[in-house]
Structure 1
């Protein structure tokens, strides 16, 4: 597979023009306020719960988490932590999943807990049937006419877009994790690969006091540029939509700007470790670099996997992340 984008030198300097709505901050402030108010009004019906998971795993504490996300709607997650650490305040890693993956079967992801962290893996509403072992969270909202997938669901109105709900779920999960008595609320890191990396960037932008941001082969940055250069889905969902709905071009890009990782990155100042793969034919490397280069963080680094595709660094990158967090504990 050849390099799919610019040279590395060009990528390191790449800073595309990304639309930024004048009311970007107000839009998200109001969105999160509405979600928190909805949970307050719902009372006990929206209360988060953690119950012991049905699993043969005996050496970790594994819990099935349900928490109130967008509109106080129930969102599922796994919460896993090491045993024998009672009385300690554990650092936490919150992870978000890739496109059309779900939280899967309990215990599939345990490395962070085995490394001494509390670990939370969020289900993505409406997804979970494209690969992996399934998801458990519905998305009870409709959409305008849309291309198969999630990029164009609600694309004519930012208040109706799919990622407004998902990004709100992510921020509300961080709200919930902060309340747990066994975690250190000053050490909540966010991570994820592909779509999960894009959600992590949004979560860090919406929860500015997180400890660290660690997205891998991050999707959802520089949407308009990504659609121009990507050769495959999910960005091509937008191209197919606009090939039919020619009259909606400006509306589409104005809506997309509310969910563009570049606009969140401009507001992020926490330590950040990104990764990118130069042979990635799903998420063009220039889109990931657009998000990384826009970061306001003084403490930031990006690992480059020159000969990998969308799989990125995999466990090699996890080891880099573990070292990154250990140096900042």
Structure 2
């Protein structure tokens, strides 16, 4: 095979087909950029170059200064060959960088550009280095002059006023078994209050993770004299939300284990969760009130060693562009329901 010495085509375009678009300067939002290159040999005829080899000899550059962008960097303007959960722009979705071939020998490679806060607008070109060490550029003073332009937007930090925090009654598997226990449960839903945007992933900390108590973060048992009433708070943090809690053979219902008192009481229950459309767009919590007779709820049981045990979960919610909001749910007082607050550093 003839050695790669030149190219008969070198161009750059956004995956959307546009030449310019906005990008959020938060270090997470990625925009797909497609490179078209037609390698040639010494005789000028098209040749095929192995994808990984081509990828290793190609760089995104500043269109004017010809300096390279940061490969998988964390500051300034950066790029990579993989998509993420925040690869989004109007009409755009992306996948892992891949190569394809046209009838004219053109090979296509997709990169994903992202940027840190504080950057200025950037016109971006591309540079390749052939096997003969010839450097060919699409830049202001290069052999080719095609470019794309990305305009950074200031990253958004979401606050409580930007979200919805509502609740509705949900069913439990044994809730009607009033012979031993009466259980009521409500699901709380954390979502983004927007007509054209939504949360796509959530990071949650501070909860129990033991088997049977996964996602449990707060317990209040009252009154101390007979421990009849159990108030429990749960955060269903696993992703993808709908399928993560799916119970096989249960008519497609997603359920979370609640009111788990296996010792003495010998009682378990399960609440229906993620019962709204697009479950991946919201984070579901459950608040449970459960009343038992006899000697009340037995303590200790699992992680329950006292009448009041709790964490204070912190939630970072990310929209489809990688903008985020940080919130916390108060586990210290849940007898009247669940309350969410803005995170204060």
Q: TM-score, structure 2 length as denominator?
A: 0.22
Structure having the higher Rg: 2
Q: Which has the higher helix share?
A: 1
TM-score, length-scaled by structure 1: 0.23
**Bigger strand share:** 2
